[in-house]
Chain A
Amino acid sequence: MSEPAREPTPVQTRVQTITQMPPSPASQLAPVRTQRLRSPNWITVGQVMVTLALCAFLIVPMLMSVMAGLTVNYFRGVSSGLTLRWVSNVLETYGDSVLTSLYVAAATLALVLLTGVPAGYALARSRTRLSRLIEEMLVLPIALPGLATALGLLAIYGGFSAFRNSLWFIVVGHFVFTLPFMVRSVAAICASIDLRTLEEGAASLGARFSQRFFTIVLPNAWPGILAGALTVVTLSLGEFNLTWMLHTPDTKTLPVGLADAYASMRIEIGSAYTIVFFAITIPLLIGMQLLGIDPGGNLDPQRLQRKHAKRRARESAALADASTSALPETPL
């Protein structure tokens, strides 16, 4: 096995990465060496090709469907002209499903906020075996297929036609599926900021539990709450497995409508409908990316670490000032 270009590159990249390392002594992160794309050896070429192929595989169909939804005639391609006809057609025919999805997502979010935030806090604060079991239990709806949950719901509540035929039936299914994400997200942030000591501090100043909860716990846990909320909404908008089993012709959500359209409509309509779906979910996803929320609903710990490292670096610098400003005025 020959690696013709191996010798020059390692030394050069070593020098480069050393200067790229953060200068702050307070940074305790394992250094990640990143390199600029350099002249190739075979391995890198292989990697690049696989990466390009994969990215094409994932991204091209998305672009294609956007284009298909905007062209007059899919078979003739872009040359047939661009139009918003299909999109407006979709909004007319399927506009209800979009609203339904939004209502369901909003209702699910409301339920999850009211029940999941306190639960996440409680589980983070009481690290007992019971609380760990409860966390495990809450995760089960994700571990088991959505079909099982749907069948179960139908089995029990199928008879209560008023409930079964209402939107709340779907909301309930979404609720059990999204609850663990909020609980985990809130629990994670509560654990990471050492809430217990903060609360002891507040208690030492006379604050009762309810006062502490609203003045200290919630304000400090809100990044986790926000991450959980965005995750819940995104999951609810994209939920299909459960919803398909539970829906009625009057309670069609966006994904359910999509399934209909793909099956029975021409490709331009299916694509336009997909564009509508993208238009609703992609801004949410971008928002989550910008805030550093990973798809599991957790704040990226590396980003938090980087923030802390930056703060520590600022502190070390400020320390130099502080030690001079801390000179006592007391007689020596």
Chain B
Amino acid sequence: MHDLTFPVRWRIALLAPALALFAGFWLLPIGRLIQLSGGNDALATYRAVLTNRRYLESLGATVALSVAVTLATLVLSVIVGLFLTRHSFPAKRVLLALLTFPLAFPGVVVGFMVIMLAGRQGLIGALTMALTGNKWVFAYSMTGLFAGYLYFSIPRVIITVMAAAGKLDASLEEAARSLGASPWQIMRDVVLPALAPALTASAAVCFATSMGAFGTAFTLATDIDVLPMTIYTEFTLNANMVTAAVLSLVLGVVTWAVLALARNLTGQAAAAAA
């Protein structure tokens, strides 16, 4: 039905300011970035960058890390999320609140948390020293980075899992139980399939966030460069705008593609779970 109470001129008037600012401060810049990334010869530039060994390693490391983080986050979040949804205990709300604070932390704070845990004066170092005589410090290695990425991914996915678990129809599980299914079978056949859309969406967001995470790596100053760090180094230390542009666009396209794929798989905006 035609919407006569919302005439076209008002639609334009209401959208125009946002769109104008957006165009001026995002579309235009990204357009220029694309243009710059082409350099003098777009094809040659892109080929050069994409076949450069260092960049490929960086990209590979980032992807591997992001995939590992996503998988670990999913497993842990499902276990903990389901547990928290189905059990009540005193101070549960406080616990949940605390668990979700890391969502607001910038990557640098997350890096600092990792240092607190696993740095040279970290808790784990002290514990392992007391227990085994050898101090285990892993904050500045890939493990530390992994821990950091877990730190900001888990809260987000737990919330999504809890929201989805809250909507699960308990009668399906009861039916499975009445038919003799074990808890593992129920998990495999009833719970996980029902959670699948939410899990797919949050996995995509988790992957995308890990791919683009900068602050955590910056703080932890690891040896192995993840792609955002490479981009940063190229731009600031090497003043290589073209390479930085190409790499960040490649990163952007990969991220966007993963989110779009997940959205198609689940039929809802994966970015809405962000």
Contacts and interface: CB of A to CB of B under 8 A. Distances in A.
A32 B166 contact: yes
Contacts, number: 296
Interface majority SS on A: helix, strand, loop or mixed? helix
Interface residues of B, number: 104
Interface string B101-117: 11111111101111111
A176 B25 contact: yes
Contacts of B255: 143-145
A125 B219 CA distance: 44
Contact of A244 (B104, B218, B241): B218
Given A138-B22, A156-B28, A240 B117 contact: no
A281 B167 CA distance: 30
Interface majority SS on B: helix, strand, loop or mixed? helix
Nearest to B34: A152
Contacts of A134: 15, 19
A51 interface: yes
Contacts of B109: 238, 255, 258, 274, 277
Contacts of A175: 21, 25
Given A43-B183, A175-B25, A140 B272 contact: no
Contacts of A75: 121
Contacts of B249: 148
Contacts of A110: none
A145 B79 contact: no
B212 A172 contact: no
B121 A267 contact: yes
Contact of A285 (B36, B104, B259, B269): B104
B228 A145 contact: yes
Contacts of B96: 289
A248 interface: no
Contact of A151 (B113, B248, B274): B248
A58 B154 contact: yes
B192 to A, nearest CB: 15
A21 to B, nearest CB: 10
B61 interface: no
Interface of B: 3, 5-7, 10-11, 13-15, 17-19, 21-22, 25-26, 28-33, 36, 76, 79-80, 82-89, 95-109, 111-117, 121, 123, 147, 150-151, 154-156, 159, 163, 166-171, 174, 177, 182-184, 208, 211-215, 218-219, 228, 231-232, 235, 241, 244-245, 248-249, 251-252, 255-256, 259, 269, 271-274
Closest 4 CB pairs of A and B: A152-B29, A145-B212, A144-B252, A240-B106
